[in-house]
């Protein structure tokens, strides 16, 4: 039986791609689509908006109007909207898949605290390939240990508003956790001027923004005489959308708790 899915931010670039990915899935069906109340797309047919032809799902202005007819909500919007949608999902006992990035520390804490009331899946990146990379990074860091310097590079399109990317931070956290380090204490976000010699426990981040880059990430483990790189390059956002739909189908019927994409893929 297919999971019934609602997409918030349905008129956005990612929202439209999610609608397309759901139409291609044999595990999920789109039953609701939501936009913010001021959107000119309210009342539009979601399938038509995504370029698929009419599917009969009309975009509404309030998630609470459609929650009775869904199993899982996919939310790729903005931190404030995601938090409000999480409250609604908890009230209606619906699963929530979150792809929003740019949360402040307090917002992250508020969202994660809701796991006692709803099934909550949060991932910095829903690509299957990225999540395999995260597993590989954990293993590599554990094997290589403190003898290797770690630097993370990421590049995205000119419209991305947060930096470093959530995926880059997740990669940093995967490495830091395996090395027994606190990423907040050892992360260095860019360098300029007379920075002095590199602190051995540092995990550096370099950010590039420009053009239409979907998402490039590389983690370098560097020691005297050799360098190991684990990289992922996305050429289409459909990789993220398909992963999120896969997660949404898996989350339907899950008990309240905190999950990530590696739970969905059986990598934990």
Of 159, 171, 252, which is closest to residue 206 (Cα–Cα)? 171
Active site residue 160: yes
d(CA 106, CA 12): 26
Consecutive H or E run containing 245: helix 238-251
Q: What is the pLDDT of residue 217?
A: 98
Q: What is the pLDDT of residue 162?
A: 87
* Per-residue DSSP letter, 69: G
My answer on whether 55 and 100 are in the same domain is yes
My answer on whether 175 and 225 are in the same domain is yes
My answer on whether 82 and 17 are in the same domain is yes
My answer on whether 81 and 170 are in the same domain is no
* Per-residue DSSP letter, 74: E
**Domain boundaries, position 205:** 128-234
What sign for the dihedral angle of Cα 164, 122, 102, 201? negative
Q: What is the pLDDT of residue 221?
A: 98
Of 254, 264, 261, which is closest to residue 89 (Cα–Cα)? 254
CB atoms within 10 A of CB 54: 12
d(CA 158, CA 145): 35
CATH number for the domain that contains residue 157: 3.30.360.10
My answer on whether 185 and 110 are in the same domain is no
My answer on whether 228 and 249 are in the same domain is no
User: Which residues fall within 8 angstroms of residue 168, CB to CB, at 6 or more apart?
Assistant: 152, 154, 205, 207, 217
d(CA 215, CA 153): 11
Of 252, 251, 33, which is closest to residue 260 (Cα–Cα)? 251
pTM score above 0.85: no
My answer on whether 196 and 208 are in the same domain is yes
Task: Write out the DSSP string of 180-207.
Answer: T--HHHHEEE---S---SPPTT-EEEEE
Catalytic residue among 65, 135, 156, 233: 156
Catalytic residue among 65, 159, 160, 200: 160
CATH number for the domain that contains residue 10: 3.40.50.720
Q: What is the pLDDT of residue 56?
A: 92
Q: What is the pLDDT of residue 124?
A: 79
- The Cα-based distances of 213 to 130, 236, 263 in angstroms read 16, 9, 28
Structural domains of the chain, count:
2
Q: What is the pLDDT of residue 112?
A: 86
Digit-by-digit pLDDT tens for the chain (268 residues) are 799 999 999 999 899 999 999 999 999 999 999 999 999 999 999 999 999 999 999 999 999 999 999 999 999 998 999 999 999 999 999 999 999 888 888 998 998 888 888 999 998 789 999 999 999 999 999 999 999 999 999 999 999 988 999 899 999 999 999 999 999 999 999 899 999 999 999 999 999 999 999 999 999 999 999 999 999 999 998 999 999 999 999 999 899 999 999 899 998 7
My answer on whether 228 and 242 are in the same domain is no
Q: What is the pLDDT of residue 85?
A: 95
My answer on whether 46 and 114 are in the same domain is yes
Active site residue 156: yes
My answer on whether 9 and 117 are in the same domain is yes
């Amino acid at each position: 039986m297919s999971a019934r899915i609602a997409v918030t931010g349905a008129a956005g670039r990612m929202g439209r791609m999610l609608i397309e990915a759901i139409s291609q899935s044999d595990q999920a069906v789109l039953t609701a689509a939501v936009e913010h109340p001021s959107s000119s797309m309210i009342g539009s047919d979601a399938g038509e908006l995504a370029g698929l032809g009419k599917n009969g799902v009309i975009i509404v202005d309030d998630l609470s109007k459609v929650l009775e007819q869904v199993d899982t909500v996919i939310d790729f919007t903005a931190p404030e909207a995601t938090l409000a949608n999480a409250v609604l999902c908890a009230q209606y006992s619906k699963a929530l898949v979150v792809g929003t990035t740019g949360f402040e520390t307090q917002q992250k804490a508020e969202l994660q605290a809701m796991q006692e009331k709803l099934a909550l899946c949060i991932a910095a990146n829903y690509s299957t390939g990225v999540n395999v990379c995260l597993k590989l990074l954990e293993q590599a860091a554990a094997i290589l240990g403190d003898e290797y310097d770690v630097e993370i590079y990421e590049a995205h399109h000119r419209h991305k508003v947060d930096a470093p990317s959530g995926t880059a931070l997740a990669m940093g956290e995967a490495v830091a956790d395996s090395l027994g380090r606190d990423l907040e204490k050892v992360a260095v976000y860019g360098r300029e001027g007379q920075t002095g010699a590199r602190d051995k426990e540092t995990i550096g981040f370099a950010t590039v923004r420009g053009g239409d880059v979907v998402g490039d990430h590389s983690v370098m483990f560097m020691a005297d005489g050799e360098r190991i790189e684990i990289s992922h390059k996305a050429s289409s956002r459909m990789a993220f959308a398909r992963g999120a739909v896969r997660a949404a189908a898996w989350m339907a019927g899950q008990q309240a708790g905190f999950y990530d994409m590696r739970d969905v893929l059986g990598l934990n």
